[in-house]
Structure 1
Amino acid sequence: MSDWKPKRFWTECAVVETDAGCTVELDGRRVKTPAKAALIVPTRAMAEAVAAEWHAQKKQVDPVSMPFTRSANAAIDKVRVQHREVADMLAGYGDSDLLCYRATHPKELQDRQSAEWDPVLDWAATALSARLVPVAGVLHQPQPDAALAELSRRVHALDAFQLAAFHDLVSLSGSLILGFAAAMNWRKPDEIWRISRLDEIWQTEQWGHDDEAHEAAEIKKTAFLHAKSFFDLSV
C-alpha cells in the first residue's frame, strides 16, 4: 500500500461567498471534491469549518484530520446524486427502530429500556407526529403506516448536506427516532448517544469491560458527535 499523500501547496486559505453558497479558496483557487465538483456548502459556518481544516494542514494533507471536508464531499458527490435512495434507506429504519424492540427478560433491563426509550417515543409522537409502538422480542412487527409515512416525508425533506449528516446519526445509533432527536435537539448529543447504547451498557455491567468493544464504541461516538455538528452547520 502506498504511503503517498498530497503535499500542501497553498499559503492563503479563504472563505468566499458565491451565488450558490460558500466555498473555500486556496491561493485563489477554489477547492473541488474528489469527483471534481465545486465544493460549495450552504452556510458560511460550514465553509469556515472546512477552511479551518485546510488551514491546519502541515507539509502533507491528511484527509483523516478533515472530517468536515469529508462530510461536505460526501454530501456533494454521493448524497446529492442519490438523494432518494439514501432517504428511502434511512426512512426504512422506522419500521425496525431500535427503540421499539424490547427485551423479554430480565425485568431490570425491561424497566431500564422503558425508562430510557419510552420518553423518546413519546417525544416523537408529538414533535414528529409519528407514534411508533414498542414490542417484546426481536421478531419484526410492522409499525403504523401513517407514522412511517410521516417519518419518510420528513427524511425526504432534508437537503443533501442535512441528509449526509442524518445518515450517520441514524446508522450509528440504529434508530431513526434518535436520529431525529439529535437533529432537533431533544437532548444533548452525548445523552442521545448513551441512550442508543443502553443494551451494550447493560451487557458491560453484567459481563465486564471489553477494551476492543469500548474502543470501537468510542470511534462510533466520535463519528456520531461529528455528524451532529455537521448537521447543525448545514442549517
Structure 2
Amino acid sequence: MAYTAVTKALKTLNPTVLRVLTSQSRHLSGVAIAGQPEPDSPSSSFTFSSNENVPTSISNKDNNIYIKNPKKTESSVTMPISFMTGSIVGGRFYKKVTTREADDGNGWNVMLDYRTLKTPSKRPLKCPTLALAKAIAAEWEFQQIDGIRPFTMPLMKLTCTALERVPLTRHKIIEYLMKKFHQDLVFCRAPGDSDLTSNVLGRQVEKLDPLLNWVESEFGFKPIVYSSFFGGKQEGGLVDAIENLLKKTDDCELAAIDAIAASAHSLVIALGIFRGRLDIEEAIKLIRLEEDLQVDRWGLVEGGHDVDIADLRVQVSSATVFLGLSRKH
C-alpha cells in the first residue's frame, strides 16, 4: 500500500525527534495549512464536530466525535495547537475504525466506531477515493490507547487542507507559488570561481540540468539559471505555462503541490513529482544536494541535520502519497 511509505518513515523516527521536527515545519506558503486560524483567532486548531450543546467530554448520545474540550465555554470540539507540535492529545476514545460510502454516494467517510469524522468546518470528512479514506483510517487505527498523536496523521492534515482551505484560498496559493517561482532552488547555481563552491556547481550541473531540460521539453521554454542570492527572472512564457497548469489542478492536487513546494523550496521539484518525472527519493536528493555535500565535507550534526532530513522525508513522502491516493483512476 502507498500508505506504507509514510508509516515506514514515521516508524523509523525517534518520538523525540518527531516532536522536534513537527515544530520546525518548512512550510513557506502558510496559505493552505489546514486548521490555520484567521488573524483574530486565539489559537490554531482542528475541529471535528459541531453541536451547539457540545459537552466537555466524550458523548455517546449522537453521531458526532467529541474529544475533551480544554475550554468549557466553546461549543465545538477541537484538536488544539498540539496537533501541529507533536504533543499527545487526550486518550483514544474509540475501538474500531472503518470506512463507508458517503450518504450522497459522492466520496467516502471515515468512521470511528459509529461516529463520522468531521472537518474543521464541521462537515463530514469526505475523501474523493476509497484508497485515501482507508489510508486515513489506518492513521487513526495506528493511535495508541494512552493518547492520540496527531503528528502521525499527515494524510488527515492534507485532506483537511484540500477540502477546507484550498477552495477558499486557491487564488492566493497560486499567486504565492508563482511569486516564489523565480527564486526556485533548481534555478540557483553556486559560483564557480571559488574553491569552496566549485564542487557544488559541478554537482548542480550534473543533477539539476536534466530536470531543467525536462522543464524545457514539458513547457516549451528554457529556464534561466543564476548565481545571485536575490534570484533572477524567468521568461514570461514559462511563467504563464506553469501558472496555467496550476489553475487546472483540482483541490487535492494543488494542496499536494503546495506542500511539496514549501518543503522543497522548489515548485519545479513539486511539479516533477506531480507529472511523474521524479519519485520521492530522487526529489529528496535534489532538495538536499548542497547540504549533503556540506555534510560529506564537515560531518553530520546530530539533532540538526538528522532532524532536518527526517522532517523533509515525512513532508515530501506524505504529500506524494496523498497525491496518488486522492486521484480517481
2:204 is matched with 113
2:187 is matched with 100
SS at match of 1:136: coil
Residues 226 and 195 from structure 1, CA distance in 2 versus in 1: closer, same or farther, beyond 3 angstroms?
same
**Cα pair 2:225 2:232 within 8 Å, conserved:** no
Deviations, residues 129-149 of structure 1 (Å, cap 9, x unaligned): 443111233232211011011
Identity level (%): 23
2:174 is matched with 87
Matched, 1:27 2:119: no
1:44 is matched with 130
> In structure 2, what is the Cα distance between the partners aligned to 1:12 and 1:96?
44
> In structure 2, what is the Cα distance between the partners aligned to 1:125 and 1:234?
28
Counterpart amino acid of residue 169 in structure 1: I
2:286 is matched with 195
Residues 61 and 16 from structure 1, CA distance in 2 versus in 1: closer, same or farther, beyond 3 angstroms?
farther
**Cα pair 1:102 1:113 within 8 Å, conserved:** yes
Deviations, residues 129-186 of structure 1 (Å, cap 9, x unaligned): 4431112332322110110111011112222211111112111111111111112221
Q: Which has the larger radius of gyration?
A: 2
TM-score by length of 2: 0.66
SS at match of 1:102: coil
Write 1 or 2 for the structure with the bigger share of helix: 1
> In structure 2, what is the Cα distance between the partners aligned to 1:219 and 1:3?
18
> In structure 1, what is the Cα distance between the partners aligned to 2:319 and 2:199?
32
1:35-74 aligned at under 5 Å gives the runs 35-59=121-145, 60-74=147-161
Structure 2 unaligned spans of 5+: 1-81
Counterpart amino acid of residue 234 in structure 1: S
Counterpart amino acid of residue 158 in structure 1: T
1:203-218 aligned at under 5 Å gives the runs 203-211=294-302, 212-218=304-310
1:183 is matched with 274
Matched, 1:234 2:320: no
Counterpart amino acid of residue 87 in structure 1: I
1:75 is matched with 162
SS at match of 1:96: coil
TM-score by length of 1: 0.90
Structure 1 unaligned spans of 5+: none
Of 1, 6, 9, the match for 2:94: 9
SS at match of 2:229: coil
**Cα pair 1:15 1:23 within 8 Å, conserved:** yes
SS at match of 2:108: strand
**Cα pair 1:91 1:155 within 8 Å, conserved:** no
**Cα pair 1:8 1:57 within 8 Å, conserved:** no
> In structure 1, what is the Cα distance between the partners aligned to 2:174 and 2:281?
25
> In structure 1, what is the Cα distance between the partners aligned to 2:269 and 2:112?
38
> In structure 2, what is the Cα distance between the partners aligned to 1:231 and 1:45?
11
Question: How far off is 1:10 after superposition?
Answer: 4.8
**Cα pair 1:102 1:138 within 8 Å, conserved:** no
SS at match of 2:253: helix
Question: How far off is 1:4 after superposition?
Answer: 5.0
SS at match of 1:54: helix
Counterpart amino acid of residue 117 in structure 1: L
* Greater CA drift, 169-178 or 46-55: 46-55
What is the CA RMSD across the aligned residues, in angstroms? 2.1
**Cα pair 1:16 1:25 within 8 Å, conserved:** no
Counterpart amino acid of residue 133 in structure 2: A
